[in-house]
Structure 1
Amino acid sequence: KGLQRDYQVASTAKHFIAYSNNKGAREGMARVDPQMSPREIENIHVYPWVKVIKEGGLLGVMSSYNDYDGFPIQSSYYWLTTRLRKEMKFKGYVVSDSDAVEYLHSKHGTSKDMKESVRQAVEAGLNVRCTFRSPDSYVLPLRELVEEGSISMETINERVRDILRVKFMVGLFDMPYQMDLRQADVEVNSIKNQEIALQASRESIVLLKNENNTLPLSVNDMKKISVCGPNANDAAYALTHYGPLAVEVTSVLQGIEDKVGKSNVLYTKGCDIVDANWPESEIMSYPLTEEEKVEIEKAVQNAKKSDVAIVVLGGNNRTCGENKSRSSLDLPGRQLDLLQAVYNTGTPVVLVLIHGRPNSINWADKYIPAILEAWYPGSQGGTAIADVLFGDYNPGGKLTVTVPKSVGQIPFNFPSKPNSQVDGGSQVGLKGNMSRVNGALYPFGYGLSYTTFDYSDLEVFPKVATGKQNITIRFKIKNTGNSAGDEVVQLYTRDVLSSVTTYEKNLRGFERIHLDPREEKELEFVLTPNDLSLLNKHNEWIVEPGEFRIMVGSSSEDIRLEATFHIRDIFDYMFETVINVTSDSVLYKVLDNNEETKRKGKSG
C-alpha cells in the first residue's frame, strides 16, 4: 500500500511460491526441493500472498526458481494461473526471477531446450521474462512458437493485456517520459528522507539483553570507550547490489565518535569478518595466526584502558546474501575469540550485531551483559545505534524471526505445532537423560526496552459467537517505567480442539505504540472469521465450533493476558436462543451481534 499509493509505481513481490527451505539447506543456486507439507504451504506461504493481493492490491509478482512436489513453479499453470489469478484474483503481471525460464531445461530437466521452456512458461502464465540478454534467449523462440501455432495469439494477447493494464494504472501512458531529471537529485537521499531513514533504523533495533541496566550508557560517566570488531568501522553492509550504492554511510564508530568525541574513543578492528580458512574453519579448528593474536591483543589493551568496551560483530556480504547459505550459524572467523578476550579484561562489554541472518550467540547471551541486534541498519545505522547506546532513543524493535541455539535445530520457525519443542529428557550430564538443547535462543516477537509495560483489563466479546461473527479484544497497556518508549503489542490465537493439528500460536494482530512514563492506553483488535479459520481434511477453509484461546503479550513467549471464547454451531446457537424470545431477536443475536451493527440497528 505504501509503494503503490496513488499508483505512482507498481510493487513487485517475490518469490512466488514455496520459496527456500530447500532440502539439506543447500539453497545456493539450486533452490530446489523445498521440504514443506501442502498444509504448511497454504498456512505459511500462500497466506501472505492472499493478504497482499486482496488487501494491498499488489500489481507485480515474481515467479520463483524452485519446484514444489516435483513441478517447477515457472511452468506451473496451477500456481501461476489457477491459484494466482483465478483464486486470488491477481490482476497484475508475472515476471520471472532472473533465469527461471531457462532453468526449466538447464536445471530441472522438465524441458528439452529454451524454446520449449519459453512455451511452458508463457502458457503457465508468465508475462515478462527478467534478465533480458539477447533475442535468441526469449524473443526469437517466442516468435517461432507463435508462427508455428504452438502458442496462440489469444494467449499472447492475454499476457500483453496484463502488462498494459498495469502501465495504464501507474500512468505510464499519461506521462511516459520524465521531463524534470534534476528533481531526482533533489528527492533521492534528501534531508527529509534521511531523517525518515534514521527513524526507520532506530525503530528496527532490537535490545536482546540488558543485564543490570548496563544500557543506556552515560556520556558524562564515560572517560574512555573502546570500540572494536570487524563491523565497527565498515559501511559495506549498506552498499549492496540490491540497495543504494552512492549514499554517505555512518559507521558505528563514527556514530559513537559523534556522540562522545573522537578523543574519547579507542579503536582497533580486532579481527576480520572471516579468517583465512573460512568457511572450512566452521567445521574444523585452526590455530590463531600471529597477526590475529596481535590484533586481538590491541583490542584487549584498549578495553583495559576504557570504562566500557563496545564490540561490533556479525556478518556482511561475504557471509550473507543471495546464494550464500552457511554451514553454521555461529559467529564466523575469529569473532568469538575477540569477544571472549575483551570480556576477560573485566571491562563491561556491550555487543552490537550487524548482519543479515541470525547468529547463534549462545556464549554471548550467557556472559555479555548487553546485546543489541541491529541487522543491516541502513545508511544512518551508526547514528541510530549510538542513539540507542547512549539513551537518546529507547529501543522498541521486536524479532521477526526465531533465533535458534544451534544450526542443528533448523528448520526452526514460528509458528510451530503443539509440543514440537518438548524433549523427553530433562537432566544434563553423564548420568542425565537429555540428548539435545531445546528451545529458541530468542523467540519470535522478542525485544526488550529501557522501560517496562503493564498489561491489564482484558475483555473479549462476544464470549459465545457463531463462525460468521467478529470477535473484539480490548485491553489496557501502561508504561510503568521512568522512560518514554515503544511497545509492540502482539495478539495470538489458538484453536484449542480441532479436526486437524493447528499451530500453538497464530499471530493475528500487532501494534506499535508510544507511551510516556505512567501513560496508559486502551487498545482494540478485531478478529474476523478468516482469522479463526483452518484448512480441514477436505481442504476447505472453515471456522470449526469449539474453544479458542486469546493471548496478548510482548512476544510469542512473553504472554501477559489470556482469555477464551467459544464458537458455536449456528443451529445449536439458534435453538438455545429461541426460547422465550421473538424471532426478530433470534435473528439479531444469531447472525450478527457486532457492535457496529448494533449501533446501526441492522442484522443479518
Structure 2
Amino acid sequence: MELINEGGLDMNVLNQRVREVLTVKFKLGLFDHPLIDNTGLADQKVHTQADENISLQMNRESIVLLKNEQHLLPIDINKYKRILVTGPMAEATNYTTSRYGPSNNPITTIKDGIIAYAKDKALQVNYTKGVDVVDKNWPESEIIPTDLSKEEIQSMTTGVRLGQESDLIIAVMGESEREVGESRSRSDLNLPGKQRDYLMKLKETGKPIILILVNGRPLSINWENKYLPAIVESWFLSGQSGRVVADMIFGEYNPSGKLPISFPKSVGQIEMNFPTKPAAQAGQPGVGPNGWGNSRVVGFLYPFGYGLSYTDFQFSNLRLNKKQIRPTDSLTVTVDVQNIGKRKGAEVVQLYVKDVVSSVTAYEMDLRGFEKIELNPGEKKSVQFSILPAHLELLDQYNKWTVEPGIFEIFIGNSSANLPLKDSFDVVN
C-alpha cells in the first residue's frame, strides 16, 4: 500500500508510517480475519443469515398501514385472482442500498416479490410501469401544470387496459432516491410527476386499488386518501423490500408500524409537526359575526403515532397509583389492552401528558411513554408506565427546567389523535 504524493509532502516518510501502523494492527490481531480476501471469510462477516433476519424484522415493523377501507387488506386470494402491479417504484432498486453501506446485497423488487408470492398461490400477475416517477418538465411542473405527453398517454392507456382486465390493482408510487434526500427539498408534497394523473385513470376502471408508497418523506396524498380504499406506507426498505411488502399485503404478518412524523395536508402547513403548540393550526370562524367563510384546510392528514392493524384493540381500566404528587415524585400509570379482533397482532400503546396551565407556552401534549405488545384474539394484557419528574418539566421564563405545580392530564391510546382514555393528577409543592 503506497500513498500518492499530491501535496509536496515527503511521501517516503508517510508510507513508512503507514507500514508501521499496519504492522502494529496485524500484531494486535485486528486483521486476523480480513474481510477482503480470497478465502470466503467475507461472506461469514457480511450479510449473514442473522443480519438478514434482523433486517427483515426491522422492515416488517416499519411499514405503516394508513388506510384499509372495507378490509381490502390482507388480499383475499380466493377473490382476487388476476392482479395488476403497476407504478414507477414497482421495479425500483436504488433506494434499497446506500453509498455509505453495502451496495452488493441481493435485491427483490416489490414487483418481483408480489410475483413470487402469487406464483405459489396460482394467481395471475401482470405488470406495466404506467408512468415515470417525474415528468420531463419536473420540478417546474410542480408549480406550472403541463398536459400529458403522447408517450405518457400511451403508457397510461396500457395500464388502464390491463387494469380493466384485472380483479385488483396494486399501484407502487412515490419518490426515488433522486427526488428525496440530502439537498433535495421540493416545492410540493404531492406525488411527483404525473403519478396522480395515472391513479385517477386507474380509478376509472372501477377496480379496487391498493397504493403502496415508496418514499422518504411525508407526502400530501389528499386525493389518494379520499378515493383509494387501501394505502400502505413502506418508506425506503432494504434489499428484500419486495418480500416484505408481499408478505404484508397478503397477510403473512400483521402490520404494526406507527408514524414517527406527521403528514401535513399541504406545504402551506409547513412547519407543522408534533408536538404542536396551542392554536398552531387553528381555523377561522366560518359563520357568525366574524365569519366570512373558511379560506384554508387545517389539521393533519395522518397524525403522529398513527398506524392501522388487521385486527382491533380496545383500551380500558386506566388507573394511577397516585392522584397527587410532589415535583420530585414519580407516578405509575396502568392500562388494560385487549385484542378484540380475529387476528393476532401487535399494538403500540402510547401515553401522552399535558400541562393544563403553565407559566410559559408549552406543547399541547407530549409523548411520555409507549410500549408495543403482541396479543392473540381475545387476549388482554396490562401495560404499565412510569411518569418521572423529567417528564413534567418545562423550560421556564428564567431558562431553567422546572416542574410547576398544577394539574396534569394523562391520555392513553394508539396515536396522538386517538386517545380514548383520560385521567389527571395534581402536582403540589
TM-score, normalised on structure 2? 0.90
Which of residues 338, 352, 366 in structure 2 aligns to 1:506? 366
2:17 match: none
Which letter does structure 2 place at the counterpart of 1:499? S
Shift of 1:200: 1.2
Show structure 2 runs of 5+ residues with no match: 9-24, 35-39
Q: 2:245 aligns with which of 385, 407, 411?
A: 385
Aligned-residue offset at 1:135: 6.9
Residues 86-137 of structure 1 deviation map (CA, whole Å, 9 limit, x = unaligned): xxxxxxxxxxxxxxxxxxxxxxxxxxxxxxxxxxxxxxxxxxxxxxx9879x
Q: How does 1:65-464 map to 2 (within 5 A)?
A: 175=28, 177-181=30-34, 182-261=40-119, 264-426=124-286, 433-464=293-324
Q: Is the 8 A contact 2:26 2:32 kept in 1?
A: no
Runs of at least 4 residues off by over 3 Å: 133-136, 172-176
The Cα shift of 1:194 comes to 1.2
Q: 2: distance between equivalents of 1:355 and 1:242? A: 19
Question: For the Cα contact (< 8 Å) 2:130–2:158, is it kept in 1?
Answer: yes
Taking the aligned partners of 2:65 and 2:6, their CA distance within structure 1 comes to 49
Alpha-carbon separation, structure 2, partners of 1:358 and 1:535: 30
Q: 1:518 aligns with which of 378, 387, 395?
A: 378
What CA distance in whole angstroms lies between the structure 2 residues aligned with 1:413 and 1:528?
A: 25
Give deviations 1:248-288, integer Å, cap 9, x for gaps.
11111111111112971110001111111110010001111
Query: Structure 1 528/254 Cα, relative in aligned 2: closer, same or farther at 3 Å?
Result: same
Q: CA deviation at 1:541?
A: 0.6
How far apart, CA to CA, are the structure 2 residues paired with 1:336 and 1:243?
Answer: 33
Q: Would the aligned equivalents of 2:327 and 2:427 in 1 still touch at CA under 8 Å?
A: yes
Give, in whole Å, the separation in 2 of the partners of 1:272 and 1:263. Answer: 26
Residues 422-468 of structure 1, C-alpha deviations (whole Å, 9 max, x = no match): 111346xxx96101100010000000111000001111121101011
TM-score (norm 1): 0.64
Residue by residue, what CA displacement relative to the aligned partner does 1:328-385 show, whole Å, maximum 9, x if unpaired? 1011011001111111100110000001111100000000000000001211111111
Distance 1:436 1:480 in 2: 38
> Does structure 1 retain, via aligned residues, the 8 Å contact 2:113–2:245?
yes
The structure richer in helix per residue is 1
Aligned-residue sequence identity (percent) comes to: 45
Q: Which amino acid counterpart does residue 223 of structure 1 have in structure 2?
A: K
Give the 3-state SS of the residue equivalent to 2:59 in structure 1: helix
Which position in structure 1 is the counterpart of 2:22?
none
Q: Is the 8 A contact 2:173 2:211 kept in 1?
A: yes
Structure number, greater radius of gyration: 1
- Figure out how many residues of one structure are paired with residues of the other and give that number: 399
Bigger Cα displacement from structure 2, 311-320 vs 263-272: 263-272
Using CA pairs below 8 Å that are at least 6 residues apart, which structure has the higher relative contact order? Answer: 2
Alignment partners' CA distance in 1, 2:85 and 2:428: 61
1:503-529 Cα deviation digits (max 9, x unpaired): 011011111111111111101000110
Give, as a single letter, the amino acid of the residue that structure 1 aligns with 2:351. Answer: L
- Conserved? CA contact 1:238–1:244, under 8 Å: no
Match for residue 467 of structure 1? Answer: 327
Is the partner of 2:276 in helix, strand or coil? coil
The residue that corresponds to 1:17 in the other structure is none
Contact 1:250–1:382 (8 Å) recurs in 2 = yes
Alignment correspondent of 1:497: 357
Letter in 2 for 1:503: Y
Q: Does the Cα contact within 8 Å between 1:533 and 1:542 map onto a contact in 2?
A: yes
Confirm or deny: 8 A CA contact 1:488 1:554 kept in the other structure: yes
User: d(CA) in 1 for partners of 2:27 and 2:254?
Assistant: 46
CA distance in 2, matches of 1:469, 1:174: 54
Provide the aligned C-alpha RMSD in A: 1.8
- Pairing 1:546–2:406 present: yes
Q: d(CA) in 2 for partners of 1:338 and 1:523?
A: 45
Contact 1:425 1:435 in 2 (8 A): no
Structure 2 CA distance for aligned equivalents of residues 235 and 515 of structure 1: 35
Q: Is contact 1:303–1:309 with CA below 8 Å preserved after alignment?
A: yes
SS at match of 2:141: helix
AA at the equivalent of 1:366: K
Counterpart CA distance in 1 for 2:151 and 2:138 is 16
SS state at 2:56 partner: helix
